[in-house]
């Protein structure tokens, strides 16, 4: 078992690898896919970049991404990761989010908006448990090959 020191009540830090192991946290992803016209593409990207710059330092925001390089489909994707549902809700109610709504208005077809809620996160313990299961289901044969055990 890994030697862990407590960071908070819900997060562990592994002393050996320095990895954060989330156990009781919630993560929310917001993914917005927009379809600007060629004429409005630059304006839409400028709006979303400003939102990105203002959102990153907000409490509860883990990350923001802007993907604008899908020239085949001419869509733009704006993604946010939040530490808790309430942080996302506060953001959606904020004045900053009005810019996201303005960017949505520039989409020539309805934007695709998805929110993905995670009620459980696993860290290194998932790898350990799955690798241990895999190792226990494989047994070496007399020739040294691996085959499923019976």
Predicted pLDDT at 12: 44
On whether both 110 and 100 belong to a single domain, the answer is yes
On whether both 68 and 52 belong to a single domain, the answer is yes
DSSP bridge partners of 67: 77
On whether both 20 and 76 belong to a single domain, the answer is no
Is residue 5, in this structure, part of any structural domain at all?
Answer: yes
Could you give the C-alpha distances from 14 to 26, 83, 100, 122, 142, in angstroms and in order?
20, 20, 38, 13, 38
Is residue 150, in this structure, part of any structural domain at all?
Answer: no
Read off the CATH number of the domain in which 90 is found: 3.30.70.100
Predicted pLDDT at 134: 66
Predicted pLDDT at 109: 94
Predicted pLDDT at 13: 44
Q: Do 122 and 37 contact (CB within 8 A), yes or no?
A: no
Alpha-carbon gap, residue 12 to 9, rounded angstroms:
8
Give how far the C-alpha of residue 134 lies from the chain's centroid of Cα atoms, to the nearest Å.
27
Is residue 18, in this structure, part of any structural domain at all?
Answer: yes
CA-derived radius of gyration, the chain = 22
On whether both 109 and 60 belong to a single domain, the answer is yes
Q: Which residues constitute the domain of residue 108?
A: 27-118
Predicted pLDDT at 132: 87
Residues in the chain predicted with pLDDT less than 70, given as ranges, are 1-25, 70-71, 134-150
Q: Per-residue pLDDT tens for 59-100? A: 999 999 999 886 677 899 999 999 999 999 999 999 999 999
User: How many structural domains are present in the chain?
Assistant: 2
On whether both 34 and 83 belong to a single domain, the answer is yes
**Cα–Cα nearest to 86, from 32, 26, 21:** 26
Angle at 122 between CA 117 and CA 123, to 5 degrees: 135
């Amino acid at each position: 078992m890994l030697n862990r020191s407590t960071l908070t009540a819900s997060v562990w830090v592994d002393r050996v690898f320095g990895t954060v192991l989330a156990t009781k946290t919630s993560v929310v992803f917001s993914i917005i896919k927009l379809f600007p016209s060629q004429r409005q593409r630059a304006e839409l990207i400028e709006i979303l970049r400003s939102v990105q710059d203002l959102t990153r330092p907000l409490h509860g925001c883990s990350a923001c991404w802007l993907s604008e390089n899908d020239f085949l489909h001419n869509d733009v994707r704006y993604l946010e990761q939040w530490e808790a549902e309430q942080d996302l809700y506060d953001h959606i109610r904020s004045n900053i989010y009005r810019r996201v709504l303005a960017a949505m208005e520039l989409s020539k077809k309805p934007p695709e908006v998805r929110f993905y809620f995670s009620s459980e996160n696993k860290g290194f313990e998932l790898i350990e448990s799955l690798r241990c299961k895999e190792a226990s289901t494989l047994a070496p044969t007399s020739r040294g090959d691996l085959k499923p055990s019976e």
